[in-house]
Chains A and B, each alone.
Chain A
Amino acid sequence: MANFLAQFQTIKNSCDHLVIAVEDVSDLWPTIKNGFEERFPLKRAYLNNKTRNPVPVDNLPAVLILTTDARLRSRFPHEQYLFWFREPYATIVLITCEDLDEFKTILKPRLKLIVQNDEREWFIVFVSKAHPNNDQATKMAKKVYARLEVDFSSKKRERCCKFDLHRPEANFWEDLESKIVECIRNTLDKRVQFYEDEIRKLSEQRFMPESLAFMFEMAHLHEDALCEYDELELCYLETVNITGKQRDFGGVEHGDDQATLLNPGKKPLTQIVQDDSFREFEFRQYVFACQSRLLFKLNRPFEVASRGFSFIISFSKALTMHENILPFSMREIWVISACMDLIDATASNYNEGLAPLDIEKEFYRLQGDLYSLCRVKFLRLAYLIGYGTNMERSPVNSASLSMLPWPKPAVWPSVPPDASSKVLAKEKLILQETPAIKHFGIQRKPLPLEPSLLLREANRRRASLSAGNMLEISGSDAMSKMFPSHKAQTNSMTRTNSSPGLDSSIDRPMRLAEIYVAAEYALHSTISNPELWKSFSSVEEFEQKYLELTKGAADNYHRSWWKRHGVVLDGEIAAVYFKNGNFDLAAKSYEKVCALYAGEGWQDLLAEVLPNLAECQKILNDQAGYLSSCVRLLSLDKGLFLTKERQAFQSEVVRLAHSEMKQPVPLDVSSLITFSGNPGPPIELCDGDPGTLYVTVWSGFPDDITLDSLSLTLMATFQADEGVKALRSSTAIVLKPGRNTITLDLPPQKPGSYVLGVLTGQIGHLSFRSHSFSKGGPADSDDFMSYEKPTRPILKVFKSRPLVDLATAVSSALLINESQWVGIIVRPLNYSLKGAVLHIDTGPGLGIEESHVIEMESYADLTNGSTETVTNGALENGSSTVNKDFEQLTLHDGRIEFPDWASNMTSILWIPVRAISDKLARGSSSATPQRTNIVDGMRTVALKLEFGISHNQTFERHVYFLTLAVHFTDPFHVSTRVADKCHDGTLLLQVILHSEVKAALTIHDAWLDLQDGFVHADRGDGRPTSGFFPLVISPASKAGILFSIRLGKTDAEDASNVLESDSILNVRYGISGNRSVGAHPPVSTKHSATEDAKQDLVFQSALVLQRPVLDPCLAVGFLPLPSSGLRVGQLVTMKWRVERLKDFENEVPQHHDEVLYEVYANTDNWMIAGRKRGHVSLSAKQGSRIEISILCVPLVAGYVRPPQLGLPDVVEANISCNPPGPHLICVLPPALSSSFCIPLMMSASSSVFLRHSMRLAILALLSQTIEMQHGKYWRLICVKLVRLRFIRFLNQNVSGKQHL
């Protein structure tokens, strides 16, 4: 059957249209031919595909051929089925007839004969020649046509149509077309059915699908055609695999190395037929070519690429299987050409932007794949002929080449006889080859580009042919030949020279150069494409092609999803650029690659590329880039480079840093130098204190590195913008590799907590910065993406707070005019007072006893329960002072320096002072007890405590100012009273001593120096009985001493003395008190005297002894208040009655009938209406009386002192108060009244309103005054007035006043 194929091919090539046969029965064709042919191609037709689904086909071409035409006549029936696609798809029978009889007798039988063949699809076109004007003829034609329809049309199908020659009916052409299409459709269905049956029957005759496919293709049913071709391919592969018959593969002819997978007509089919079947090599390419042609027609270049790629892969496998019969490296060459063809064809057919995005990406990915496949094969071939040294031994190349097996020809090609010169040249090349030196002296074993040693592989293949002299080429020997030593090389040179030729090369193993030359020759014979061969002709050509392929792959990958592939190939391009001195471009590409690897943390790969980038930058004099590359190299995993190499990186950095750089380059060394605060809680500082910060700096440099300066910023956690402070260390710091601890001075900071910010510094001219925190370890190389770490505060500066508390130890009074200890408790509040200095400045009336030392002792405050109390082991029960630490200090210029032991504990400072008061204490009468003013005994001590962490004077220390008030007092307060007036004129004067201090006072003696006018009774010395003494007075208690005196003149001897106006009480006493409680025995200047019990003190107090008031002139009585009580705002009349008891003697000589009075009242509490001061007439007659009344309004509720009446002109001694006025009276709160609802809740702005409110209040008062005087009527009016709005109110108020 395969014999038909040749014919098939030719027929296929000649057939490109559907055929419609025209049976011209009545010789009408020439007249109507043009009209018919104009209708083609058919604009739109619906045809059925293989699954009987209607498919629209546009512009279906068809050709009309007369059945008498040679093209249709010359066919033989046996060919019919095979080439059915070229048979007519429809038959149009053209007839005309004007006579019914003629039709019946002649035409009808003839037509019957024509249409009896069921195979054909036919219909009849009746052509009416009748002229429209000729009614007779027209009628006749109609009759005949009617007859025709009856005879040939059936109910199922209309098979007739009428064509009016002169006046074609409008719908004729549509009718005709639809009939033609119907016929074609039917025929197609029938034939498809037939082929399918046939395929089923003749499963071996695989060409049948192709007929079907081609038929579909002709019918423009490309999809179906494609399906058929796919099926054909499957069937074919099945047959090839199943039969197991060794068939000729093909591909051995010249030019076969160039893929024909896009050109189905490259080889005539006859050539690929062999032994009743096809050669696989050609046929599969042929089928693929047909498929791709259809796909291009369907505008699916993407599919071509995708199918093409897998086709190439699978076909390459097939080629591998048949490699031993194919020419040397046929497979590689074929793949190269196939890829290039496919790339070109698909790229030119591809319209960008039309396909959906993912398809487009995928398309470019495929293009990239094709390019890179092509590139790999190209590299392999180039390696075979000795360009291996020009190839970058990069991971990409290694990955693709080292796993790609060598070609496996049956016999490795041998050196051609006349190639000795070439071999020599290659030897020279090998000799010149120097192992690529990496930058920075990095030594790495180069990555393999070969699956196994080429030398061994080639020789093994040769050896398998000849005698097995494997011994010679095994092991180290082979290695030495791969990289021949000098000696071995000379040896082989002579051998080559002496015995060139085929036999020798078979006998002995080939050398590398020979292998190269042999491969070159073999390739030359295999490669038929001169373009491709040119690429292998020289290193330059090779490089150019290599670059082209690599770029192609990279570019396409970049446009696909596969960015990594693209970038990695960019690196390969960069290597070529680098080699050619195009460092700029190389650096750019290398940067991309490095960014890719660094971005995802592929350090191993990065370590491979980064030195190249650094070298580029070095050559380009890109100092910033070079430095950062060096730093990045240093910060890579330590295991990736040797210490020596890392040291080289560092020395580069240092060299550059100290060289003259045009511009100072900032360098980020975050990955290399990291820092952290010391573990543990953050340093805590008080506001304003300086400190020292310890920072751990981790150096990733392999050697010590000197940092010329270093500074570290502190960032406040509360505010990002403010509070960035740099701490500087101006001295050079040498960082050891690994952990370093550096100390930085910390100036006073604002309160808040701080974290470490950025580390900056200088190495030579280079300023670097690092913002990477570490956890006290080296920079985390894995953490390439997380710069943000939870930051721990390194420093806390507290807000201003009391740091120390100074207070007096004793709250009770001390003895005045005696030297006393003033205790000052110094309580540090969680703050060290180390080195504190206390300045003491006493106020007026107080002096420090400088002759005496100051004592300091630790102090345990039981009431506070502070920590010192607990920790102090020497705490004595019940004692508040613990003499654990005791020290005597001296005062220098008013300063005391604190001892160290007192820096963290509460201590008490005892300062000897003496309060000076030159006033004599005055006693008072017990009737009107008047205490001495407490202010008189107050003395102040101004204290200034300087303390703080800073010991030098750079920063201000904390200063604590305090003015202490210390109360000094006399030991006693004296009051007197006349206990009894005896009939004999003796007065018993009771002197009451009130103890004023918290100490037991022991009175040893007391005597009274009397003033003029008084004498001691019984002429005594003024001392009470000595048996009284010693008299002990406990704190806050009293004691009384009676003196008996009488009125009288002093003796003559006394008269010489200055007359005393006051009596003086002298008390000799002793004191036993504790200085921590209050008054205590005075500080004695002499130590021995402190124990002296005889150290008595003398207290003097002046007493005023008045002659008794025996004759009051006036009596003032306060008259009772109304019983309803007083109310705020309510008027009340205060009344006093003044009565003359007797005549004045001589005190008030004038104005006997007038008395001056004055009312004293607290204006806060009382409003007085009326005259406060004035004269009232009081007749001089004894017993005359008057009443003084005054209107008052209480202003506040509560118990208040009432106004008091005084008579300024009269001596107090002459006034007797009877009955006495009350001390306090009760005032009730105001009754609820609208008059007092002062609207305080009004808006603050209405100050006017407030003022009005005040007036309102006053008016209310007024109104009540009025009420008192005028009765209820006015009150009503006033209440109304109060309720009115203010303006009106005021107006009315005016009128009211007028009325008033």
Chain B
Amino acid sequence: MIVCVAVVGHQNNPLYIQSFTDADDALKLHHIVHCSLDVVDERVNNPKKSGPTLNETFLGLLYPTENYKVYGYLTNTKVKFILVTTDLDVRDADVRNFFRRFHAAYVDAVSNPFHVPGKKITSKTFAETVSTIVKSFGLSSAG
């Protein structure tokens, strides 16, 4: 299950963060997303390590912890997408697919002329799209 998705601006400022848990614990997900920026930074700053994936937007698994997984995605404009999932058995392809759709939704949202670049995304449509994408996550592979 995806517990959290986030859009982080190029200055590492949160632009959109949405948790999908029942409990009132969004803050811990904020923390996870925030700390995962360390890994994103590290990957971006050390291109040696990332090697062949240098030009790829999908950053892959950022956090191999026991209990949850954090995936990252970096757009050309250095906007980061972070996905936190408690699903420990996730297929890479699913995540890639998720990010691709998420990216498209993001591009739609920021193309809104009333959106100020670098500001938080307040679009309801974006939120709805995201929640649809999150709900459909993993279904394609299952079905």
Which residues of A approach B to under 8 Å, CB–CB?
A: 310, 313, 316-317, 358, 365, 395-396, 398-400, 402-405, 445, 447-448, 561-565, 568, 597, 600-602, 604-605, 608, 782, 784-785
Distance between A951 CB and nearest chain B CB, rounded to angstroms: 45
State whether B11 touches A785 (Cβ < 8 A): yes
Closest chain A residue to B3, Cβ basis: A403
Known: A313-B66, A448-B23, A782-B119. A395 touches B13 (CB 8 A): no
State whether B13 touches A564 (Cβ < 8 A): no
Distance between A276 CB and nearest chain B CB, rounded to angstroms: 33
> Which of A402, A564, A784, A785: most chain B CB closer than 10 A?
A564
Tell which of A313, A316, A399, A782 touches B28, judged by Cβ atoms closer than 8 Å. A399
Q: Give Cα distance in the complex from A568 to B38, angstroms.
A: 12
State whether B25 touches A448 (Cβ < 8 A): yes
Closest chain B residue to A563, Cβ basis: B38
State whether A398 touches B27 (Cβ < 8 A): yes
Known: A600-B12, A782-B119. A605 touches B27 (CB 8 A): yes
Kindly list 7 other residue pairs between chains A and B, CB separation below 8 angstroms, not including A395-B27, A602-B14. Answer: A317-B66, A399-B28, A404-B67, A600-B12, A605-B27, A605-B31, A784-B13
State whether B38 touches A604 (Cβ < 8 A): no
Distance between A438 CB and nearest chain B CB, rounded to angstroms: 13
Known: A404-B67, A561-B38, A562-B38. A447 touches B27 (CB 8 A): yes
CB of B133 within 8 A of chain A?
no
Distance between B13 CB and nearest chain A CB, rounded to angstroms: 4
Closest chain A residue to B37, Cβ basis: A564
Q: Give Cα distance in the complex from A664 to B102, angstroms.
A: 52
State whether B27 touches A316 (Cβ < 8 A): no
State whether A316 touches B31 (Cβ < 8 A): no
CB of B86 within 8 A of chain A?
yes
Contacts of A358 in B (CB 8 A): 46, 48-49
Known: A358-B48, A565-B35, A782-B119. A395 touches B30 (CB 8 A): yes
Q: Which 3 A-B pairs have the closest CB atoms?
A: A395-B31, A601-B13, A398-B28
Within 8 A of A (CB), among B44-68: 45-46, 48-49, 64-68
Closest chain B residue to A310, Cβ basis: B64
State whether B11 touches A600 (Cβ < 8 A): yes
Main secondary structure of the interface of A (DSSP, over half): helix
Q: Give Cα distance in the complex from A448 to B27, angstroms.
A: 10
Contacts of A562 in B (CB 8 A): 35, 38-39, 42
State whether A402 touches B28 (Cβ < 8 A): yes
Contacts of B28 in A (CB 8 A): 395-396, 398-399, 402, 447
State whether A568 touches B46 (Cβ < 8 A): no
Known: A561-B41, A564-B38. A601 touches B14 (CB 8 A): yes
Contacts of B35 in A (CB 8 A): 562, 564-565, 568
Q: Can you list 25 A-B pairs with a CB-CB distance of less than 8 A?
A: A310-B64, A313-B64, A358-B48, A365-B42, A395-B27, A395-B31, A398-B28, A398-B31, A399-B28, A402-B23, A402-B28, A404-B66, A445-B24, A447-B28, A564-B37, A564-B38, A568-B31, A568-B34, A600-B13, A600-B14, A600-B34, A602-B30, A602-B34, A604-B17, A604-B26
Closest chain A residue to B49, Cβ basis: A358
Known: A447-B25, A604-B26. A565 touches B31 (CB 8 A): no
Contacts of B31 in A (CB 8 A): 395-396, 398-399, 568, 605
Closest chain A residue to B48, Cβ basis: A358
State whether B42 touches A561 (Cβ < 8 A): yes
Closest chain B residue to A377, Cβ basis: B66
Q: Give Cα distance in the complex from A602 to B37, angstroms.
A: 12
Contacts of B32 in A (CB 8 A): 399
Known: A358-B48, A564-B34, A605-B34. A405 touches B27 (CB 8 A): no
Q: Give Cα distance in the complex from A1221 to B48, angstroms.
A: 109
CB of B82 within 8 A of chain A?
no
Distance between B85 CB and nearest chain A CB, rounded to angstroms: 11
CB of B120 within 8 A of chain A?
yes
Q: Give Cα distance in the complex from A608 to B29, angstroms.
A: 13
Contacts of A564 in B (CB 8 A): 34-35, 37-38
Tell which of A402, A561, A604 touches B30, judged by Cβ atoms closer than 8 Å. A604
Contacts of B11 in A (CB 8 A): 600-601, 785
Q: Give Cα distance in the complex from A782 to B115, angstroms.
A: 13
Contacts of A365 in B (CB 8 A): 42
Q: Give Cα distance in the complex from A395 to B84, angstroms.
A: 15
Closest chain B residue to A566, Cβ basis: B38
Contacts of B86 in A (CB 8 A): 403
Distance between A311 CB and nearest chain B CB, rounded to angstroms: 13
State whether A782 touches B67 (Cβ < 8 A): no
Q: Give Cα distance in the complex from A608 to B34, angstroms.
A: 14
Contacts of B41 in A (CB 8 A): 561
Contacts of A396 in B (CB 8 A): 28, 31
Distance between B67 CB and nearest chain A CB, rounded to angstroms: 4
Distance between A451 CB and nearest chain B CB, rounded to angstroms: 9
Tell which of B23, B27, B45, B65 touches A604, judged by Cβ atoms closer than 8 Å. B27
Q: Give Cα distance in the complex from A259 to B9, angstroms.
A: 43
B81-125 contact mask (Cβ, 8 Å, vs A): 1 or 0: 000001000000000000000000000000000000011100000
State whether A782 touches B120 (Cβ < 8 A): yes
Distance between B57 CB and nearest chain A CB, rounded to angstroms: 21
State whether B27 touches A608 (Cβ < 8 A): yes
Distance between B41 CB and nearest chain A CB, rounded to angstroms: 7
Contacts of B26 in A (CB 8 A): 604
Closest chain A residue to B88, Cβ basis: A317
Contacts of A400 in B (CB 8 A): 65, 67
Contacts of A597 in B (CB 8 A): 34
Contacts of B68 in A (CB 8 A): 403
> Which of B12, B30, B39, B49: most chain A CB closer than 10 A?
B30
Q: Give Cα distance in the complex from A343 to B105, angstroms.
A: 44
Distance between A391 CB and nearest chain B CB, rounded to angstroms: 14
Distance between A573 CB and nearest chain B CB, rounded to angstroms: 16
Distance between A360 CB and nearest chain B CB, rounded to angstroms: 12
State whether A782 touches B13 (Cβ < 8 A): yes
Q: Give Cα distance in the complex from A395 to B29, angstroms.
A: 8
Closest chain B residue to A599, Cβ basis: B12
Distance between A240 CB and nearest chain B CB, rounded to angstroms: 20
Contacts of A313 in B (CB 8 A): 64, 66
Distance between B27 CB and nearest chain A CB, rounded to angstroms: 5
Q: Give Cα distance in the complex from A400 to B29, angstroms.
A: 10
Q: Give Cα distance in the complex from A403 to B66, angstroms.
A: 9
State whether A316 touches B23 (Cβ < 8 A): no
Closest chain B residue to A395, Cβ basis: B31
Q: Give Cα distance in the complex from A565 to B29, angstroms.
A: 14
Contacts of B49 in A (CB 8 A): 358
Distance between B7 CB and nearest chain A CB, rounded to angstroms: 13
Distance between A567 CB and nearest chain B CB, rounded to angstroms: 10
Q: Give Cα distance in the complex from A317 to B64, angstroms.
A: 13
Distance between B12 CB and nearest chain A CB, rounded to angstroms: 4
State whether B38 touches A565 (Cβ < 8 A): yes
Contacts of B38 in A (CB 8 A): 561-565
Distance between A790 CB and nearest chain B CB, rounded to angstroms: 14
Q: Give Cα distance in the complex from A448 to B34, angstroms.
A: 19
Contacts of B46 in A (CB 8 A): 358, 561
Distance between A525 CB and nearest chain B CB, rounded to angstroms: 25
Q: Give Cα distance in the complex from A1003 to B49, angstroms.
A: 115
Tell which of A398, A405, A785 touches B67, judged by Cβ atoms closer than 8 Å. A405
Q: Give Cα distance in the complex from A982 to B42, angstroms.
A: 128
Distance between B133 CB and nearest chain A CB, rounded to angstroms: 22
Contacts of A310 in B (CB 8 A): 64
Closest chain B residue to A569, Cβ basis: B35
Q: Give Cα distance in the complex from A400 to B66, angstroms.
A: 9
> Which of A399, A565, A604: most chain B CB closer than 10 A?
A399
> Which of B12, B35, B118: most chain A CB closer than 10 A?
B35
Q: Give Cα distance in the complex from A396 to B13, angstroms.
A: 19
Contacts of B120 in A (CB 8 A): 782
Closest chain B residue to A605, Cβ basis: B30
Q: Give Cα distance in the complex from A894 to B103, angstroms.
A: 81
Distance between A780 CB and nearest chain B CB, rounded to angstroms: 8
Q: Give Cα distance in the complex from A782 to B48, angstroms.
A: 33
